[in-house]
Amino acid sequence: MASAVIGLGTYLPLRRVTNEELADRFDTSDEWISTRTGIHTRRWADTGQATSDLAVTAGERALKSAGLTPDDIDAVVLATTTPDHPCPATAPAVASRLGLRTIAAYDISAVCSGFLYALAAGHGQIAAKNAQRVLVIGAETYSTILNPADRTTNVIFGDGAGAIVLAEHTRKDQEGSILGVDLGSDGSQQDLIRIPAGGSRQRATPGDATEEDHYFAMQGKAVFRQAVTRMGDSANSLLQRIGWDKDSVNHIVGHQANVRILKALADYLELPHERAVINIDRVGNTSAASIPLALADAAHAGRLKPGDRILMTAFGGGLTWASAAITWPSITPV
Ligand code: COA
Query: pLDDT per residue over 241-274, tens digit each?
Result: 999 999 999 999 999 999 999 999 999 999 999 9
In short, whether 112's Cβ falls inside 6 Å of ligand 1 is yes
Top CATH class, 2-169: alpha beta
In short, whether 158's Cβ falls inside 6 Å of ligand 1 is no
Residue nearest to atom 32 of ligand 1 (CA): 220
In short, whether 320's Cβ falls inside 6 Å of ligand 1 is no
pLDDT in tens, 146-166: 999 999 999 999 999 999 999
Task: Answer yes or no: CATH 3.40.47.10 is held by domain 178-327.
Answer: yes
Residue ranges per structural domain of the chain: 2-169, 178-327
- Return d(Cα 243, Cα 245) in angstroms, integer: 6
Do 265 and 231 meet the contact criterion of CB atoms below 8 Å apart? yes
Q: How many Å lie between the centroid of ligand 1 and the Cα of residue 194? A: 17
**Domain 2-169 and domain 178-327 have a common topology:** yes
Residue nearest to atom 23 of ligand 1 (CA): 221
Residues 189, 191, 192, CA angle at the centre, nearest 5°?
A: 80
Contacts of 184 (CB under 8 A, 6+ apart): 230, 234, 320, 321, 322
Q: How many Å lie between the centroid of ligand 1 and the Cα of residue 221? A: 6
In short, whether 316's Cβ falls inside 6 Å of ligand 1 is yes
Closest atom of ligand 1 to 22 CA is 7
Q: What is the DSSP letter of 280?
A: H
Provide the mean pLDDT of the chain. Answer: 96
